[in-house]
Structure 1
């Protein structure tokens, strides 16, 4: 019996040792983040190395769709809409696929990013944008496949693919002026109803100045013509905390009516429970 237990213990110990073994990935994963103007760009990809092999028109055949990297899809994410080759690419995350040739590369931004390598079945409806780019010859050798963002300006940058002695630079334009003007206009227009609601909520939840909380929730309600049920719910709670149970009940009834129309049962129950509690003498 002791022998059996000993053997079993050794098996567990060997398994634990094996489970801890780590080795370098042949094509290590890399993440690149960059702000271009006011647009956040993130690239996630794996980096194969040439290791003495001829890359283009050999390891990566000309005229065939390439995963543009190794392992899972190489992806790029834009926080704002961008312009590539005069065409809009909506903000979001895309897989990058390419078809390399000696004189031109076709670059595809594909909306399905969950493939391992190229898609098993190509779906043209998932092609968000295509563009053709002329490759450039480098006077140096790039051992490991590299995707980067260079030539950064407030209004544009280049998404660069480089490997061996080839560079492909895809220019993308970002809406910096539009985003900056929108930010300026918003700031100069003053606080929104949501800003006042959040401020009132903070004062209430932190047991702060209830007079200020009431001022802010009233401004939020004045600015929002729809009078959301969660706005009135907060106001009723503030009124109750101030000792105005009569006002709290009336406001809770307004919140209840709106919640019933919206079929939000959570707020319906909360308002009914509060009205019952505040109605007690």
Structure 2
């Protein structure tokens, strides 16, 4: 009985130690210290509704971004680190397509002459999601 009690106490102590170590490591990941720090753009509409974009601001660091670091014709998370989050409290229309109020993730497919804007209902993505991906229709924005 006493040996079972010792084993349980050791396992409990080990589990607590591992949880404590995990908390220390995850707390040390300060988003403000990243090479591509978080940023936010917000637009307040006249009726009080808002459109907010949360993204990580990529740094060029002397690199060619489009067509090189971000290849043409491939899905890009439109920023660095986590995928760009788009929140609107207003129903919108983009290129004639309805975007209801809500939270979205934005991806783009850059090209030399046009970009495809993907407004995705799945949020909380880290990078580029797998093939199950895009719930909403692709919006093509030229320019």
The verdict on a shared fold, with TM-score over 0.5 as the criterion, is yes
- TM-score of Structure 1 vs Structure 2, range by shorter chain: 0.7 to 0.9
Query: Deviation of residue 43 (structure 1)?
Result: 1.0
Q: Does 1:33 align with 2:48?
A: no
What is the CA RMSD across the aligned residues, in angstroms? 2.2
User: Relative contact order: is structure 1 or structure 2 higher (C-alpha 8 Å, sep ≥ 6)?
Assistant: 2
Query: Deviation of residue 33 (structure 1)?
Result: 2.1
Residue from 106, 109, 120 that aligns with 1:99: 109
1:93, 1:131 → 2: CA distance?
17
Number of matched pairs? 116
The structure-2 alpha-carbon separation of the partners of 1:21 and 1:119, relative to structure 1 and needing over 3 Å to count, comes to closer
Residue from 51, 58, 64 that aligns with 2:61: 51
Residue from 130, 142, 160 that aligns with 2:138: 130
2:33 counterpart SS class: coil
Q: Does 1:112 align with 2:112?
A: no
Query: Deviation of residue 93 (structure 1)?
Result: 0.8
Q: TM-score, normalised by structure 2?
A: 0.73
Query: Deviation of residue 36 (structure 1)?
Result: 2.0
Q: Does 1:85 align with 2:95?
A: yes
Query: Deviation of residue 104 (structure 1)?
Result: 0.8
1:92, 1:21 → 2: CA distance?
28
Query: Deviation of residue 94 (structure 1)?
Result: 0.7
Query: Deviation of residue 20 (structure 1)?
Result: 7.5
1:159-186 Cα shifts (integer Å, max 9, x gaps): xxxxxxxxxxxxxxxxxxxxxxxxxxxx
Query: Deviation of residue 71 (structure 1)?
Result: 1.0
Larger Rg: 1
Query: Deviation of residue 121 (structure 1)?
Result: 3.2
Query: Deviation of residue 115 (structure 1)?
Result: 1.2
1:26, 1:110 → 2: CA distance?
26
1:132, 1:69 → 2: CA distance?
18
> Can you give the 5+ residue segments of structure 1 that lack an aligned partner in the other structure?
1-15, 136-281
1:85-119 Cα shifts (integer Å, max 9, x gaps): 11111110110100000011000100001211111
2:98 counterpart SS class: strand
More helix by share: 1
